[in-house]
Structure 1
Amino acid sequence: MKRTAKAHWSGNLKEGKGNLSTESGVLENTNYSFKTRFEEGEKGTNPEELLAAAHAGCFTMAVSSMFTQKGISVTNLDTQATLTMEGLTITGIHLSISGEVPDTSAADFETIVKDAEKNCLISKVLNIPITSEAHFK
C-alpha cells in the first residue's frame, strides 16, 4: 500500500504560499504558508498540525484495535494530540484520550492507552518524546 500527498509552493519563505492535496481528496489545494505555520489568525494548515492530526487518528485507531482484539467494542474514543515546538524543533507530542468502553475497567483502559502510545504506526516512526493520558468514562 502507498499513500500520496502533494505540496505546491510559490514565492519566498515568509511571503510565499502554497497548497496541499491528498490522493483521497480530503485535502484539495488546502492553504499553507509561513503565516499559517508560525503566526496566528491566518486560515490554513501547517505540517505540524497535520502531523498531530495523523498521530491522533493513528493512536485512536490503535486503541480501538486493541480492544477489538479482546472482543470488546468501544462506544466512543476522543483524542487530542498536542505537538510542542521549541524554535524549529518538534520536542514532543502529548496524546489525551477519553473513552467510553463497556466491559472494561479504568486500569485496563490505561494499559491499552500506554500500549498504543508506544505502538501505533505514527508513534513508531517519530523520534521524539510521546506521552499520553487516559480519561475513562
Structure 2
Amino acid sequence: MTTKTGSAVWKGGFKDGSGTISTETGALNNAPYGVASRFESGQGTNPEELIGAAHASCFSMAFSLMLGEAGFTPDEIRTSAKITLDKVADGFAVTSSHLTVEARIPNIDEARFSEIANQAKAGCPISKLLNTKITMDARLTT
C-alpha cells in the first residue's frame, strides 16, 4: 500500500478568509487559495484545478502503462482535465471531469488508440475515485 498526503490550512471566514495547500513531496508548498481563486478569477489555486491535475496525470500514466502492455510506446501524451463545479440544491458539487487528450504514438491506428484510451479513462485510480461523470476527447497527433 502507498499513501500520499496533501494538506490545507484555512484562516478566517468563508468570504474574507484564505488558505494554503501543501503536499508532502513539496510540489506545492503553502500555495495560496481562497474564494477568489475558486469562484472568480483571483490568484492562487483551488481544489477543482488540483483534482483536474490529479486526474490528468493519473490518466496519462495509466494510458502509458496500457499502451506499453499492448506493445506501443508513446512519444508524448498531453492530458488536461476540466472539472465542473455546479451550484446544486444543497450547496456546490463537482459534477463532471472532462479529459482532453492529445497523444503522439508511433504505429497505432485510431481504433486501437481509442480502445486503449477508454480503458485508461475507466481504469486509472483517480477515475475510480471520482464519483462523477467522466468524459473525454482523445486525439492522436503526428
TM-score normalised by structure 1 residue count: 0.96
The letter for the 1-side match of 2:81 is A
When the two structures are aligned, how many residues end up with a matched partner? 136
SS at match of 2:74: coil
Structure 1 counterpart of 2:6? 5
Q: Deviations over 1:18-65 (max 9, x none)?
A: 10111100100100111111111x210000110011000001111111
Structure 1 counterpart of 2:38? 37
- What CA distance in whole angstroms lies between the structure 2 residues aligned with 1:2 and 1:60? 20
Structure 2 residue 58 is the aligned partner of structure 1 residue 54: no
Structure 2 counterpart of 1:84? 84
Contact 1:14 1:34 in 2 (8 A): yes
Pairwise mapping of residues 18-29 of structure 1 onto structure 2 (< 5 A)? 18-29=19-30
Identity over aligned residues, as a percent? 40
Structure 1 segments of 4 or more deviating over 3 A? none
Q: What is the deviation of 1:106?
A: 1.1
Cα RMSD for the two superposed structures: 0.9
- What CA distance in whole angstroms lies between the structure 2 residues aligned with 1:64 and 1:126? 21
Q: What is the deviation of 1:108?
A: 0.7
Structure 1 residues without counterparts, runs of 5 or longer = none
Structure 2 residues without counterparts, runs of 5 or longer = none
Q: What is the deviation of 1:71?
A: 2.6
- What CA distance in whole angstroms lies between the structure 2 residues aligned with 1:73 and 1:56? 19
Question: Which of 111, 131, 139 is residue 107 of structure 1 equivalent to?
Answer: 111
